Amino acid sequence: MLFCSFHFLVFFSVVFAVYWTLDRRATRVAAFLLAAAYLGYRAIGNVQAGLDWQIGLALSVCVAVVQTRFLGVHQARVWLLLLVSFCF
């Protein structure tokens, strides 16, 4: 993924939005539901199998939201950044 591509713009926008909204419960729930719905959508049908970074991003968001419940917001943010670093 190139830094000057549209894919990186989408990736960065999602990570930035989730990172700064992890401290609010309503936005955590919304982010989790959107990511889980996307994963369910991808699991049901074969939709462009070449976009694997989107699956990794959705899984990273789900894990970070669950981590806020057990570890707290600050450690969940660290986990989010660690997990999305493997989406490339």
- 15: in domain: no
Residue spans of alpha helices (H) in 1-88? 6-21, 25-44, 52-70, 73-84
- Whether the pLDDT of residue 50 is over 60: the answer is no
The reported pLDDT for the residue numbered 35 is 92
- 60: in domain: yes
- 36: in domain: yes
pLDDT confidence tier of residue 48, bands split at 50, 70 and 90: low
**What range defines the domain where residue 44 resides?**
32-88
- 74: in domain: yes
Higher pLDDT, 52 or 41: 41
pLDDT confidence tier of residue 40, bands split at 50, 70 and 90: confident
The reported pLDDT for the residue numbered 26 is 94
- 87: in domain: yes
Residues 11-35: tens digit of each pLDDT: 899 999 999 999 999 999 999 999 9
- 55: in domain: yes
Cα angle 69-29-37, degrees, rounded to a multiple of 5: 120
Q: How many domains does the chain have?
A: 1
Residues with Cβ within 8 Å of residue 32, at least 6 apart in sequence: 61, 62, 65, 66
- 54: in domain: yes
Q: Is 24 left (phi over 0), alpha (psi -120 to 50) or beta?
A: beta
- 58: in domain: yes
